[in-house]
Amino acid sequence: MAPSFDTFIGYCAQVLRVGGTLLYPTDTIWGLGCDATQPQAVERIYRIKGRPEGKSLLVLVGSLHMLRSYVEEIPEVACELLSSYPTPLTVIYPKARGIAPNATAADGSIGIRLVHHPFCQALLEALGRPLISTSANLSGAPYRGGFLQIEDAIKRGVDLIVPRDFDTASGIGKPSAICKVNGTALEWVRK
């Protein structure tokens, strides 16, 4: 018998708390994740992907309250956009705090997405910390689509794979829009 959604969310959070890695559905595409506050777990994500360290990773949060805990400042224009943008949106903030240093860019900036995906929200609430989210593909290889196209090396590398039936709301199948905080304004990186 398969575990209930709540039981499985609790198990995922437990794996992440001890530095584990996860292959999971997001509001965009399937991602690789870990507790974004644990440098050793972040290092494992780099190894699984074969990605050079020093390239920043994306972080997911489940609420504005959580977001405020991990960046120094959220300009009003970013709050307005986060509450009204119709598709998933990643905002690059200039100064992260409390995030594993090896997840941020060299200048200390970090891309963070406020997710509304039911699985991700439940997991973030249970974990109580932000979650690394990077595409589930080997570094340099294109992301090929859904779960079935994810390379076996990725699947073998993680500690836990979320069953596809726990993907309670399929993502949009493409990366999010991205904008960057520039003082009190935002500039678009990708729409």
Q: What share of the chain is helix, strand, coil (3-state, %, to 5)?
A: 35, 20, 45
Residues 125, 62: contact at Cβ < 8 Å? yes
Choice among 20-24, 52-56, 126-130, 141-145 with the minimum mean pLDDT: 141-145
Q: Write out the H or E segment, with its range, that includes residue 41.
A: helix 39-49
Give the pLDDT of residue 160: 95
Show me where the domains of the chain are located.
Answer: 5-190
Residue-wise pLDDT tens digits, 71-106: 998 888 888 888 888 889 999 999 999 999 999 999
Residues 132, 33: contact at Cβ < 8 Å? yes
Residue-wise pLDDT tens digits, 5-43: 889 999 999 999 999 999 999 988 899 999 999 999 999
The CATH number corresponding to 5-190 among 3.30.70.380, 3.40.50.300, 3.90.870.10, 1.20.810.10 equals: 3.90.870.10
DSSP codes, 51-74: PPTTS--EEEESSHHHHHHHBS--
Best CA proximity match to 81, nearest among 174, 187, 173: 187
